[in-house]
């Protein structure tokens, strides 16, 4: 079992959150926590539909559309962080499995070595939730960036 989902409370049955969708979610956040240069392309092609839209998650991520833009957006994801670890705490799926709500937290070490645990939530729309290879067609992340911004400010002298 993935560290991403080992503590997850699944609030829906396997019809709403199939094993393939649960695997997709774990893979998504494992990759999100990986600094590798190829990760953006892997995420954009494997996990998202070619015309997917991703919104939120931080400055510069207001609305990103399509494979190329999603892959490119990963370069900004590590601008202020040196390490991070996402955990999905709760997951709920619609009856047909096409919509998902997640509640989680990300434990991060910033580039100034300060450590934070920041809550987040996400809404996703999934294509093919009942197949072996579901993909995300829409994702909106909600996260308050103010703790990160405050932690990055230099101490006043």
DSSP per-residue letters across 32-48: HT---TTHHHHIIIIIE
What pLDDT was estimated at residue 57? 67
Low-confidence winner among 4-13, 58-67, 93-102, 139-148 (lowest mean pLDDT): 58-67
Decide if 117 is inside a domain.
yes
Do residues 70 and 52 lie in contact, with contact meaning Cβ atoms separated by under 8 Å?
Answer: yes
Domain count, the chain: 1
Place of tokens 């390490």: 83
pLDDT digits (tens, 9 = 90+) for 94-121: 999 999 999 999 999 999 999 999 999 9
Q: What's the CA gap between 137 and 2, in Å, rounded? A: 23
Decide if 3 is inside a domain.
no
Decide if 83 is inside a domain.
yes
106-143 burial: b if 16+ Cβ within 10 Å, else e: bebebeeeeebebebebebbbebbeeeebbbbbbebeb
Domain of residue 142: give its range. 9-152
Q: What's the CA gap between 28 and 51, in Å, rounded? A: 17
Chain CA centroid to CA 45, Å: 15
The CATH number of residue 132's host domain is 3.10.450.50
For the cut 90, the answer to whether the pLDDT of residue 140 exceeds it is yes
What pLDDT was estimated at residue 157? 59
pLDDT digits (tens, 9 = 90+) for 49-64: 999 999 986 665 578 9
What pLDDT was estimated at residue 88? 98
Quick one: 92 exposed, middle or buried, by C-beta within 10 A (0-12, 13-18, 19+)?
Answer: middle
Decide if 157 is inside a domain.
no
Decide if 4 is inside a domain.
no
Do residues 55 and 64 lie in contact, with contact meaning Cβ atoms separated by under 8 Å?
Answer: yes
Q: Helices H, strands E: what count in the chain?
A: 4, 7
Decide if 101 is inside a domain.
yes
Residues 4-17, mean pLDDT to the nearest whole number: 94
Decide if 2 is inside a domain.
no
pTM for the whole structure: 0.92
């Amino acid at each position: 079992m993935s560290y991403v989902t080992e503590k997850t409370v699944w609030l829906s049955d396997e019809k709403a959150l199939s094993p393939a969708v649960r695997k997709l979610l774990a893979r998504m956040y494992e990759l999100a926590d990986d600094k590798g240069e190829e990760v953006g392309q892997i995420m954009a092609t494997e996990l998202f539909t070619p015309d997917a839209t991703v919104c939120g998650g931080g400055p510069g991520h207001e609305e990103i559309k399509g494979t190329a833009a999603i892959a490119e957006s990963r370069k900004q994801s590590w601008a202020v962080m040196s390490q991070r670890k996402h955990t999905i705490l709760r997951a709920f799926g619609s009856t047909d499995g096409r919509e998902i709500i997640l509640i989680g937290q990300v434990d991060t070490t910033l580039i100034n070595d300060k450590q934070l645990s920041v809550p987040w939530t996400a809404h996703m729309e999934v294509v093919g939730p009942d197949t072996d290879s579901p993909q995300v067609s829409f994702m909106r992340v909600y996260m308050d960036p103010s703790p990160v911004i405050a932690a990055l400010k230099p101490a006043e002298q």
